[in-house]
Structure 1
Amino acid sequence: MNFWSEIVGQQDAVAALDHAASPEGANDLAHAWLITGPPGSGRFNLALRFAAALVARDTSDAARAREYSAVAAGTHPDVLVVRTQTNQLGVEQIREAVTSAYYAPAVSPRRVIVIEDADRMNTAAANAALKALEEPPQTTVWILCTPAEADLLPTIRSRTRLVRLVTPDSEQVAQLLCERDGVEPSLASRAAQLAQGHIGMARRLAIDAEAMQRREKTVEIALGVRTLPEAMAAAVQLSEISLADAEALVARQLDAERRELMQQMGLQLGDPVPAEIRRDMKAIDDTEKGRLSRGKVDATDRVLLDLLALARDLLVLQLGAKQPLINSAYRDRIAEYAVQSHLKETLQLADTLEKARQRVVRNVRPELVLEAAFAAIVAYRYSNRK
């Protein structure tokens, strides 16, 4: 596998960034880049690899791979990765990044600042970033990642070079799971299909049996809901599943960070915490609440994506399209809906579910969003009774 091989389905983007990071592309290297793409398209991984290519002293895969290992681990002296585990990226983090941007490179030709969720910057953070982009140091390159360019201020967008990613093909995602993660081909294909090109979700479905069971349960519940009381019960049930999913994920993240911090001191988790790292350990613990909030939003969004996949399958059958169903295991039950339903109402259901996704990322309570989504499913079934 070459240096860019884990970036699947993004040939044009890879070609542009590979050229910009090469000596021949020096004149095409902008001081700020904006990488956009749907969730799971690999935009953050692409940003990290671009950063590694920029700080590598030669263009060989081996040299870039060494730099990437340090960048991904957060230990490279000339690459700062700005991330948030909560729903908001605050001004203090951006101010630290701005200060770092004006340091001279320590061991590399350039310094690179990568902002994973630039769309999560609050107003103050966005303004702080804008000032840095207006007067950039010659040796610093900014890389911002966001789902869409519209998520950022127009003044920030105008100071960056845009790289758009697309949703990867399911076959390409499945091949990556087989080659990189050793997933059995049939499971890799199923996970990639269910994830709809979302690389991270496909991997999780393939290697985490509980994640696959959660998705199957979501589909079963949605197909079984008939009345409003059932819809409210389903919303509560899936809300509880989403919370449990978020709690388990956050617990693993916190445990891994605590272990890493203790290992840096030559200690094991459970040993007495030395005074010199108590502050750092407390800082990790203090992020738990914010991470849980974001984790539940992300888990709820995955439920809504699963419901949208059902609506998409309904449309495929109603239109007589040749596209394969995402939820092919439930083809017969979905076909019953398709025969009894009208295309207009199915489109309205899909629109309602998409608006529900927008609400949940705007901090509307996930429980209320799920209740509204399942109420819409009941209304859809009722409106199409013959």
Structure 2
Amino acid sequence: MSAPVFDQLVGQDAAIGVLDHASRAAGEIVRGDGPGTAMTHAWLFVGPPGSGRSTAARAFAQALQCEFGGCGQCADCHTVKVGTHADVHIVTPEGLSISVREMREIVRVSAFQPTGQRWQIVIIEDADRLTEGASNALLKAIEEPSPHTVFLLCAPTTHPDDVSVTVRSRCRVVSLRTPPADDVARVLIERDGIDPELAQWAAHAAQGHIGRAKRLATDEVARNRRETVLAVPLRLTSMQGCLEAADELIEAAESEARAISEALDEPERESLSQSLGAGGTGKGAGTAARGMAGALRELERKQKTRATRVQRDSLDRALVDLTGFYRDVLLVQVGSDVELSHADHERQVREVADRVGQDWVLRGLDQIVATRTALETNVKPKFAITALTTALRLPRA
């Protein structure tokens, strides 16, 4: 039976087996009563969005730091889970990338002796956002690791575009899969107390993405945004309709970014000002004020890049929903009995299926993939989304 901390991984039995075995081996190393050959110093968690890469990394970190191998109840398990453990450092990019400066600092800290006498653990969420310089800094640390340091990287795939070949070759890869919708629904019901019928709908609508399923089940704004996105295909009957749909998608993403910025920016600014002694008088106050101005400019830069990232992540979720819609169109056209991703929009799916051919749908899916790639490479969202809606314009009935 696996450690309790791994219960939070949904539909990942194979990965749980590997991680549980490794955490037991790590305990042997700490206690000095075994070879611990199943444990290694660098791990790469890969899987599609929603598969639980970050959850798996944190659960593994809990098991490594826990004296009882991952009980889920002790202080170490709790502090790792909430992100306050002194020996667990979590790198979550707020902007579009992870800089070499950030990575060098994390690598420096990771070499310290752990305060808890177990492990120094570095979790890098979205390791595919490492810049080339950051990746090189990480590589050096992985090549010459401290005996008590463990690196846990999370990325969509092992493709060189996501993780460099040299970094990947020094990591043990743990592959995660999209969890079945029924497993996701069970978690929403048992963990979050969500009504069973709503949980089942959200799990299928989110296409196995656990976090998105919870948002759809609990947030009316998220449900309304999904409805707006899935109404797009049938609106693309004229150039005006294509342009209006693109504007609405972009405005929805910008609105989400503004809402998050309003909730975070001012408290961050006030906290920084207070920590730097804003409003102080006396000797050194002038120097402190000049230093504060520079720190505030740096904070504003980070907040701006975070807002850009939130906007593009929102657009990417919309594109995932559109991908599911056109996949459903293709399933209807070939007469497949596979369950539709957006079964609650079957009428719209069938209407589009009657108006276009399979070749058209395949080209449309390729165009959506190309648009996601364009957004990742910093193409202006307005240009990328407008080009997409134009390409998906329905032929005349």
Q: TM-score, normalised by structure 2?
A: 0.87
Residue equivalent to 1:310 = 325
In the other structure, the counterpart of 1:13 is: 15
Q: Which among 105, 118, 135 is matched to residue 109 of structure 1? A: 118
When residues 172 and 250 of structure 1 are mapped into structure 2, their CA distance, relative to the original with a 3 A threshold, is farther
The one-letter amino acid of 2:66's match is A
For the residues of structure 1 that align with 2:319 and 2:59, how far apart are their CA atoms?
31
- Please state if 1:46 is matched with 2:75: no
* Change in 2 beyond 3 A, CA 1:223/1:41: same
Contact 2:253 2:311 in 1 (8 A): yes
Counterpart of 2:45 in 1: which secondary structure?
Answer: strand
The answer to whether the 8 Å contact 2:91/2:125 transfers is yes
Q: Structure 1: 5+ residue runs without aligned partners?
A: 266-271
Task: Report the equivalent of 1:127.
Answer: 136
| Structure 2 match to 1:243 | 254
Indicate the larger mover: 247-256 or 194-203. Answer: 247-256
Q: 5+ unaligned residues in a row in structure 2: which ranges?
A: 29-34
Contact 1:48 1:68 (8 Å CA) reproduced? no
Residue identity (%)? 35
Q: Does 1:26 align with 2:36?
A: yes
- Paired with 2:342 and 2:72, the residues of 1 have a C-alpha distance of 41
Among 76, 101, 107, the residue aligned to 1:67? 76
1:155 partner SS: helix
Residue aligning to 2:348: 333
What is the Cα deviation at residue 285 of structure 1? 5.1
2:94 maps to which residue? Answer: 85
1:376 aligns to what? 391
Cα contact 1:258–1:281 (8 A) shared by 2:
no
State the one-letter code of the partner of 1:183. I
Amino acid at match of 2:321: D
Deviation of the 1:133 alpha carbon: 0.8
2:147 and 2:126 map into 1 onto residues whose CA distance is 24
Letter in 1 for 2:209: H
> What are the Cα deviations for residues 205-245 of structure 1, in whole angstroms up to 9, with x where unaligned?
11110011011011113322211121011101110111101
Asked if the contact 2:125/2:155 (under 8 Å) is kept, the reply is: yes
1:282-321 Cα deviation digits (max 9, x unpaired) = 4655532011010011011011111111101101101111
Give the CA deviation at 1:15.
1.2
> Aligned pair in 2 of structure 1 residues 281, 180: CA closer, same or farther (>3 Å)?
farther
CA contact (8 A) 2:70 2:77 kept: no
Q: How does 1:257-336 map to 2 (within 5 A)?
A: 282=296, 286-336=301-351
- 2: CA distance, partners of 1:112 / 1:377: 46
Alpha-carbon deviations, 1:323-373, whole Å to 9, x = none? 122222221222122123211211111111111111111111111111111
SS at 1:223 equivalent: helix
Tell me the residue number matched to 1:205.
216
Tell me the distance in 1 between the aligned counterparts of 2:182 and 2:207: 10
Q: Distance in 1 between matches of 2:145 and 2:208?
A: 36
Change (3 A) 1:336 1:222: closer
Instruction: Give the letter for the 2:61 counterpart.
Output: A
Deviation of residue 4 (structure 1)? 1.7
Alpha carbons 2:92, 2:125 under 8 Å: kept: yes
Letter in 1 for 2:38: D
Distance 1:188 1:132 in 2: 43
Q: Does 1:221 align with 2:229?
A: no
Listed one character per residue, the Cα deviations across residues 71-119 of structure 1 (whole Å, up to 9, x for unaligned) are: 2333211111111111110011110111112111111311111111111
Assess if the C-alpha contact under 8 Å between 1:56 and 1:108 holds in 2.
no
Give RMSD over aligned pairs.
Answer: 2.5
C-alpha distance in 2 between matches for 1:290 and 1:196: 29
Find the aligned partners of 1:362 and 1:195 in 2 and give their Cα distance: 25
Check whether the contact 2:43–2:173 (CA below 8 A) recurs between aligned residues.
yes
Paired residue secondary structure (1:26): coil
Asked if 1:232 corresponds to 2:234, the answer is no
Correspondence list, 1:142-221, <5 A? 142-150=151-159, 151-221=162-232
Partners of 2:119 and 2:304 in 1: CA distance: 36
Letter in 2 for 1:339: D
Give TM-score, length-normalised by structure 1.
Answer: 0.90
Which residue does 1:269 correspond to in 2? none
Q: CA deviation at 1:258?
A: 7.4
Q: How far is 1:185 from its partner?
A: 1.2
The CA distance in 2 between the partners of 1:166 and 1:254, in whole Å, is: 35
Three-state SS of the structure 2 residue aligned to 1:114 is strand
The offset of 1:155, in angstroms, is 0.6
Structure 2 residue aligned with 1:268: none
Contact 2:100 2:137 in 1 (8 A): yes
Contact 1:55 1:108 in 2 (8 A): no
Of residues 48, 53, 58, the one that matches 2:68 is 58
Give the one of 370, 375, 397 matched to 1:360.
375
Q: Secondary structure at the match of 1:4?
A: helix
- Bigger Cα displacement from structure 2, 137-146 vs 16-25: 16-25
Shift of 1:377: 1.2
Secondary structure of the corresponding residue to residue 84 of structure 2: coil
